[in-house]
Amino acid sequence: MRLTRGFPAFSCAFAIAYLISMYFHPIFTLFTYAPRLGQWFPGVPEAAGKMAPGMYWYSWLATALMAGIVAGSVAALLPDGKPSRAWSAAVWATPLVLIAVLLYVERTWFGFK
């Protein structure tokens, strides 16, 4: 088993899980950082309004990292073989699709309904 064989799967899973965590916040938010207090809280605290602003970005990264490690480990455990062309295409197509979804999700900041 070569660990590096799992890298492409890690990357795709990381980015997809990050977008899912962000979009479906707070379902996959593991912890919250309160920058004014300099403290970390598990999940999204009920008193989140009092400690505002809460930062969830670190949690989304942690969720993405866990998803990436799981997917990468599974891919590394699969039988040896060269990565297919389809897999190579998925590696560069995934970020393009995710970027398009991200821009759509964030469109309201820029005045689009």
Partner 1 sequence: MVTYLFIFHGLCAVALLGAITHQAASVWAPVKAGDASFLGRFRAVKAAAYVNAVIALFLITFLIGAVIYPTYRVGARIYMEDLRMSKPVGSFEVKEHLVSFALGFLPAYWYYWRLPHAPEHKTVRKMLALILALIVWTAFLVGHVLNNIKGL
Residues of the shown chain interacting with partner 1 in the complex, contacts defined by CB under 8 A: 4, 7-8, 10-12, 14-15, 18-19, 22, 33, 35-36, 53, 55, 57-58, 60-61, 64, 68, 72, 82, 85, 88-89, 91-92, 95-96, 98-99, 102-103, 106, 108-111
Cα distance between residue 96 and residue 42, in whole Å: 32
What three-state secondary structure class fits 78? coil
H-helix or E-strand containing 61?
helix 57-77
- Residue 27 or 57 with smaller CB distance to partner 1: 57
Minimum distance from residue 103 beta carbon to partner 1 (Å)? 7
- Residue 14 or 28 with smaller CB distance to partner 1: 14
Cα distance between residue 21 and residue 69, in whole Å: 16
Instruction: Please give the C-alpha separations between residue 90 and each of 5, 8, 26, 38, 95, in angstroms, as whole numbers.
Output: 15, 9, 28, 40, 9
- Residue 80 or 108 with smaller CB distance to partner 1: 108
Minimum distance from residue 42 beta carbon to partner 1 (Å)? 18
